[in-house]
Structure 1
Amino acid sequence: MKSFWAAKPTTVDTIPLPLLFTILGVLIVLSGCFSSSETALMTLNRYRLRHLARDGHPGARRAEKLLGRPDRLIGIILLGNNFVNIAASSVATLIALRLGGEGTLAAATGLLTLVILIFSEVAPKTLAALRPEHIAFPASYILGPLLKLLYPLVWLTNSISNSLLRVLGVQPTEGGQSALSREELRTVVNEAGAMIPQRHQSMLLSILDLDQATVEDIMVPRNEVVGIDLEDDWNRIRSQIAESEYTRLPVYEGSIEKIRGILHVRRVLTAMLDSELTRERLLEHMRDPYFVPEGTHLHVQMRNFQTLRRRIGLVVDEYGEILGLVTLEDILEEIVGEFTTDPAESIRDIHPQPDGSYLAAGSASVRDLKRLVDWELPADGPKTLNGLILEHLETIPEPGTALLIDEHPVTVLQTEENRVKVARLSPRIKPRAKQPKHED
């Protein structure tokens, strides 16, 4: 005779199979939710998240708060994920025993593993990686309260895991976000695509390049500086002031080396029109010259111009000799481009020709040529086309001399004394080989 306990069915045996399958399906869905929320929160664009949070987006604020302590966030997600996965395994075991006995346990385990892998891991995480905001923001409404509810358990597991990390020399409270380098910022701007207009992308990249260029790259050479020579005839000086295309002019005696100051032309125009301008009054309206050491980077010099409230400076070398003149407008043009509608025509001393070549003065900036002609030249080399040609030939060329610079034919057309006056730059002989793209 069977005993009472052996005859009485257990509570688990009385659960209908449809209900067990329903519970299993719900657990699989919950597992997918935890998996997708983890991926979504960890792949959020932190800069966009911070912007949305500052704009008052509630989901972004909750997500940013959760990401403030990633150890706690990962703790609550993994606790929930492991709980539902273990529960799903138990329910699948019950279903297997009810349907086919112990012989079906291996098949049930393999089938459940495949189902969880597809529907709770791969598919949800792929969706979360593609649409992180659509998953992370709604999930933050659930994970926040759940973290508060299970905080003691999360604190216990985090304390143990954080202690282990400290033993390995890792501080769990350290921020995961480090400052971006200049090259990383360039990558961010380049990959922004349609989110940033092309014009704005160029300006941002130019700002990042300011610390790579120095005042010598953009200065007007001393032999091209337009100024007022106090030793000239007074009528010539008056005519020069009246017809000047510049707002500020250096004032010197005989040579730029004997600089006296910088004259703001507008301040003396009224006196000149009233025939009250004299040499003494002209000197009274001058401002002391401002000298800029050679090698000063453009981003530093722009800040110096702003701090000192100056707009023009004279570049000097280590011996105090004047090399040229640099203005605030020159630096701004490095960022926004030349103040004209045609970029090719705007670059000083470089003129495009119908056949695709360029006529360039020997004083043309190598920096401008690199941008316009796509030369790949070191930044610490010659600053002008004349210096570049002389460096390649190591002699003063005659008109008609031809050479190759980065696969571009360059022909010297005119020389003057000991320098190249005009040269023709032709298109590249053969296209530059494309560098293979490396994929992670």
Structure 2
Amino acid sequence: MDELHPGYLVGLLVLLVACSAFFSCVEAALLNLDRYRLRLQAKQGLRGARRSSWLLLHDDRLRGTLLFGRTLVNVSAAALASWAALRHWGVIGLAVAIPGMTLLLLLFGALLPRRYGALRSERVALPLSLPLLILQRLCWPLLWLLTLLSNALLRLLGVAAAEQDDSGRSRDEEALHPADNPQASEVNRHDMLLGLLDLEKVTVNDLMIPRNEIEGIDLDDELEVIVEQLRTTSHTRLPVYRDDVNQIEGVVHMRQIARLLTQGRLTKENLRQACMEPYFVPESTPLSTQLVNFQKEKRRIGVVVDEYGEVIGIVTLEDILEEIVGDFNDLDSLDNPDIQAQEDGSFVIDGSANLRELNKSLGWQLPCDGPKTLNGLVTEALEQIPDCAVCLRIGPYCLEIQQSAENRVKSVRAWHPRALTPLVESDASV
């Protein structure tokens, strides 16, 4: 070591500072990830998201790995700099090297990488989760021994194992127990208040189920077809119409259908008589007004019409309540079937995807004050329906048309340039 070339010495110090920056950056990135979007990406098979989810779920191991790695490289860097300074310049060199190395590690090994990791959390965390996971598995035997030793020392100090487990509860576990997590409850109340404020700005047209997605009963169908549809539907209320949804007869409740089936009296005429008269809602009605109207009329579903009286969709009381409190269906509702995450950080999105739901799912800010769907946004921007692969940019977001038909855009590949990452090949199972 006495013959260590100055170039090698500088290179080794730079490498150690870079390793310190790696640990600081990946820690900040993981802790600042959007957990909802991470769950969505993990469920859709994105490897980086699955690895990051696993690391966050086992946060005790994550903390141990980061602490061990950062301590090792920082101590090594300080020791190497002190040795070199003492050897070349004596005590004066040592007096300069210690504060100098501290400043370098603080600035380039902690503050800057932490800031960058927090601002580019997804771009950093997903690819860097692989080397961190490999390092964690390599260091696990040593970390396990250190954990045993620390637990033994804590017991000598009178700290019980239950207290240790409580203090080590992960953020995800706290989110699952809101009664024990006042901060999470406060966030939920904050989100609900924001939802209430949005009711004044959002109209029925922003929230409705569009006409082409309405599931209803066509009285012109054969009775056997209608019965099969009633047996397989997941809805409690269905619109009933003849041939076209504009010729709507009313809305029928599945409770009435069950009664007719039990009595063996299910016919088209009895089905029509069981309908409640349709409740029509203008498309420009604010959600706050419509919520009050639903209460006044004692209705839970409305047929949305435009200024010409044409049926353009359906809005339900449940849709408005979810706008306030968030989705209260089962966990499967976290998946948005219109969005497919890709390995490189981009998303393949159905052209019919609602822009508001898209922004909520991805944390984006695509404009919602005009068209309501991605297809409408793209065709408005291009002023035509593209017949081939076309790329365009809307704000900071890049869109690439993948499939289109004669009358609409069918699918789009979309990404935020900052979130786009190279493919990370890995055989890791998490």
Q: TM-score, normalised by structure 2?
A: 0.52
* Aligned-partner residue type, residue 350 of structure 1: I
**Residues 387, 405 of structure 2: 8 Å contact kept:** no
* Aligned-partner residue type, residue 222 of structure 2: D
What count of residue pairs does the alignment treat as equivalent? 239
Counterpart check, 1:420 vs 2:409: yes
* Residue of structure 2 in register with 1:52 after alignment: none
* Residue of structure 2 in register with 1:336 after alignment: 325
Percentage of identical aligned residues? 46
Per-residue CA distance 1:397-427 (angstroms, 9 max, x = gap): 1342221122111122222331011112212
Three-state SS of the structure 2 residue aligned to 1:411 is strand
Q: How far apart, in 1, do the equivalents of 2:265 and 2:329 lie?
A: 37
Q: How far apart, in 2, do the equivalents of 1:299 and 1:254 lie?
A: 33
Inter-CA distance 242–372: structure 2 relative to 1 (3 Å threshold):
closer
Per-residue CA distance 1:82-114 (angstroms, 9 max, x = gap): xxxxxxxxxxxxxxxxxxxxxxxxxxxxxxxxx
1:312 to 277, 285, 301: 301
* Aligned-partner residue type, residue 287 of structure 1: M
Q: How far apart, in 2, do the equivalents of 1:344 and 1:270 lie?
A: 30
Counterpart check, 1:232 vs 2:230: no
Structure 1 gaps, min length 5: 1-192, 432-440
Q: Which has the higher contact order (CA 8 A, sep 6+)?
A: 2
Structural mapping, 1:196-211, within 5 Å: 197-211=186-200
**Residues 237, 251 of structure 2: 8 Å contact kept:** yes
* Residue of structure 2 in register with 1:253 after alignment: 242
Counterpart check, 1:270 vs 2:255: no
Counterpart check, 1:285 vs 2:277: no
Three-state SS of the structure 2 residue aligned to 1:197 is helix
Inter-CA distance 385–430: structure 2 relative to 1 (3 Å threshold):
same
Q: TM-score, normalised by structure 1?
A: 0.51
* Residue of structure 2 in register with 1:406 after alignment: 395
Per-residue CA distance 1:108-164 (angstroms, 9 max, x = gap): xxxxxxxxxxxxxxxxxxxxxxxxxxxxxxxxxxxxxxxxxxxxxxxxxxxxxxxxx
Per-residue CA distance 1:287-306 (angstroms, 9 max, x = gap): 00000011111111111111
Per-residue CA distance 1:165-189 (angstroms, 9 max, x = gap): xxxxxxxxxxxxxxxxxxxxxxxxx
Structure 2 gaps, min length 5: 1-181, 421-430
* Aligned-partner residue type, residue 216 of structure 1: N
Inter-CA distance 333–428: structure 2 relative to 1 (3 Å threshold):
farther
* Residue of structure 1 in register with 2:377 after alignment: 388
Q: How far apart, in 1, do the equivalents of 2:362 and 2:207 lie?
A: 17
Three-state SS of the structure 2 residue aligned to 1:289 is coil
Three-state SS of the structure 2 residue aligned to 1:319 is coil
Inter-CA distance 280–220: structure 2 relative to 1 (3 Å threshold):
same
* Aligned-partner residue type, residue 303 of structure 1: V
**Residues 391, 398 of structure 2: 8 Å contact kept:** yes
**Residues 344, 352 of structure 1: 8 Å contact kept:** no
Give the stretch that moved more between structures: 352-361 or 407-416. 352-361
* Aligned-partner residue type, residue 195 of structure 2: S
Structural mapping, 1:69-108, within 5 Å: none
Q: How far apart, in 2, do the equivalents of 1:396 and 1:311 lie?
A: 37
2:360 to 361, 365, 371: 371
Computing the radius of gyration from Cα coordinates, the structure with the larger value is 1
Give the stretch that moved more between structures: 342-351 or 247-256. 342-351
**Residues 338, 346 of structure 1: 8 Å contact kept:** no
Three-state SS of the structure 2 residue aligned to 1:376 is coil
Per-residue CA distance 1:237-278 (angstroms, 9 max, x = gap): 111111111111110000001001001122112322443211
* Residue of structure 2 in register with 1:35 after alignment: none
Q: How far apart, in 2, do the equivalents of 1:339 and 1:355 lie?
A: 31
RMSD: 2.3
**Residues 226, 249 of structure 1: 8 Å contact kept:** yes
